[in-house]
Amino acid sequence: MMRTRVFTALLAALALLMPPAAMAVMPEGVLTLLIAPDKTRVYSSHVSAMNNNDKIVLMFHQAGSNRMEYEPILGALHIAGYDTLTVDQRSGGDDWDFVNATVKKLGESTEYSLAYPDLEAALTWATRKKYKTIVVLGSSYSASLAIVLASKNGNDIDAVAAYSPGEYFADKNWIKTAVSNLSIPLYITSPESENDKVDEVLKWEKGQDITRFKPSDAVPGASMLRPDKNPEGYKANTEDLVKFLNRFK
């Protein structure tokens, strides 16, 4: 008992000496190492909503970001019955006072398109875990990559949710071509200031199952789901996402 008290006291003392960034909240879940097709080590966090669950949302962040981006909404997704896997892609950074572990391991952030294998690694992991319902969710550049992933893996993915997607890559037809090839439901949204980007992405859609949400209050990317970035709209935006996810329970 004495040793436990001493150890606890030492931890408290160390916490007082740590700089604010070092005291940032850690992401929920179990640190999970993914191996991309090109053998890159990709770091992620996995949270189980319940024992033996067969539903999961794979979550990918925006530029300059990391898996902490989704921390404020994980609880809502777990209550809705979904496990979550939040991923540190190789194109990202240290937003939210948290270090992108994949970028740190590589030594630098890559261009957006090079992060696509990281999404593939997450999907491979989920299918090997025998999840029966898999939804992919992306933010800004990763929303675009999530659409590409879904267009190529309709047999494994049940739906895709895209926050502020756009033609952010050298091939300016890449994402709208992917949309035209989708065989699964798409949830797509953005702030009003980015409606033109979404219009472009949907330009070649063929009457598929597309839910376009136009929020009253929003900011770019999945940040619109965070109370610190979108205090007026995060609740309604999260509720609309959960409404979409409830279709696949």
Instruction: Scan for tokens 């800004």, then name that residue.
Output: 140
pLDDT tens per residue, range 88-119: 999 999 999 999 999 999 999 999 999 999 99
Mean pLDDT of 1-23: 36
**pTM of the predicted model, to two decimals?**
0.90
Asked whether residue 192 carries a pLDDT value surpassing 50, the answer given is yes
pLDDT for position 28 = 85
On average, the pLDDT of the chain sits at 91
Give the C-alpha separation, 164 to 196, whole Å: 10
Asked whether residue 13 carries a pLDDT value surpassing 50, the answer given is no
pLDDT for position 15 = 35
Asked whether residue 10 carries a pLDDT value surpassing 50, the answer given is no
Angle, helix 116-128 to helix 141-152, in steps of 10 degrees: 50
Identify the H or E element spanning 139: strand 133-139
Asked whether residue 54 carries a pLDDT value surpassing 70, the answer given is yes
pLDDT for position 162 = 98
Give the C-alpha separation, 34 to 44, whole Å: 7
pLDDT for position 5 = 37
User: Residues for the chain: how many in total?
Assistant: 249
